[in-house]
Structure 1
């Protein structure tokens, strides 16, 4: 029971990574709060929480809106009195060459993938400081760690920005016993993966030393570690989980 009795908020709560991780958290004793931009997102994943409904809360809020995220945080504090863990999973992909990418497509990815993380970290910080406890885990990507074929500059910039934001946040919040860390996944078996043609899948695998694409559970376990008290002396770190593709 590595997160027993903890309250964990997931921004981008309908994502594949959030779903896999939240189910693990519930199994390890936590109550989870899922935050996403539309109620329909929760409908898509509700089957994953069959029999666990009493351990799940769902709030609708757009990560791009500080006011919306702040309201979701306030609702959680009103109900539970605290948020122990924040997991930032919200993100979108628009992979195009820079000469094709529009200014709006640049901004949309920055707004969700980077500004959204700023919004949620800012919103939970006062409560975590007051309690002198917190675990923040932000999801970056191999696309923000090194230049990758097919990764747009918008996505790479946002995901790299998450690393800088988190490392600075770790220093700022350390005096209050709040840790901030990053998990940077490589290619995963998510909804996008299963829609890919086989030759594209083969191309992905060719560049992964361990010879396969990652499972969502393998990212979930990495997040669980950083969110637990086992990682209480780990902050400002980036955990690359990518089958060796970063080598």
Structure 2
């Protein structure tokens, strides 16, 4: 990686846990300056301590932001610009997937509040971050946007609820619309679709749901957050300049659209 590429500024939403935190670590290991935000004060504090301890604290920027509040989102990006400069890489990873004791809410029992909450975070939140980041990318003639979707938005869902599935599938439509608008400015828009990944969102590895998942995954195991982060890191790199409008599946072969 060249010195210029290493100095690039990346924003990772939902970057205080799971795939987001693994992505922040991955980018920091490669010399990027990385700004992350989350909504849980506990996760934000923990991520700030971990990342600042492992890496040069001057390359780490962590804040608590409510993704469904446009004022907070735009204020975060302004703060990053004042601190370092315009964000050149945006990883839209933040997402929620409400579940109860028996799993996802059945469609007929799902409330409008739950539907709106999931789409507000998973889809509208990504749109707001793009609105905040893309003008700066255009001005610099360089940009990388990576949406973190899901196998649930690509194949018949086995676990996720309707709102989550819809929100993740809709990210592909958002990506296509942005490719048309921004490709000529040196900006790529791609999507990573993880399968069953060992994060807090997936629950204990030995749960009945995860044992059933492992039984149907050709790789015979759940994925690790670092494996998804590595794919995101490639799409964020200078080397991925000609990969645009793509979906990369990271699911151990559970869904293979060859």
What is the TM-score normalised by the length of structure 1?
Answer: 0.95
Matching of residue 235 in structure 1 with residue 228 in structure 2: no
**1:59-74 alignment, distance < 5 Å:** 59-74=63-78
- 1:54 deviates by 2.6
Distance 1:188 1:48 in 2: 21
Q: Pairwise CA RMSD of aligned residues?
A: 1.5
Q: 2:128 aligns with which of 99, 119, 125?
A: 119
- Partner residue of 1:181? 190
Q: Which runs of 5+ in 1 are unaligned?
A: none
What is the TM-score normalised by the length of structure 2?
Answer: 0.91
- 1:100 deviates by 1.4
Distance 1:200 1:230 in 2: 38
Q: 2:168 aligns with which of 131, 141, 159?
A: 159
Q: 1:54 aligns with which of 48, 54, 58?
A: 58
- Partner residue of 1:96? 105
- 1:15 deviates by 2.7
Q: Aligned pairs, how many?
A: 247
Distance 2:17 2:181 in 1: 29
Moved more, 37-46 or 234-243: 37-46
Distance 1:125 1:51 in 2: 30
Q: 2:226 aligns with which of 217, 231, 236?
A: 217
Is this contact kept in 2: 1:65–1:119, CA < 8 A? Answer: no
Is this contact kept in 1: 2:12–2:37, CA < 8 A? Answer: yes
Cα deviations across residues 209-230 of structure 1 (Å, max 9, x unaligned)?
Answer: 1111101111010000000011
Distance 2:82 2:197 in 1: 36
Distance 2:77 2:211 in 1: 42
Q: Which runs of 5+ in 2 are unaligned?
A: 99-103
Distance 1:84 1:66 in 2: 20
- Partner residue of 1:28? 30
Is this contact kept in 1: 2:67–2:121, CA < 8 A? Answer: yes
Distance 2:225 2:83 in 1: 30
Cα deviations across residues 117-155 of structure 1 (Å, max 9, x unaligned)?
Answer: 000001111111111111000100001111212221100
Distance 2:127 2:203 in 1: 31
Is this contact kept in 1: 2:47–2:62, CA < 8 A? Answer: no
- 1:25 deviates by 0.6
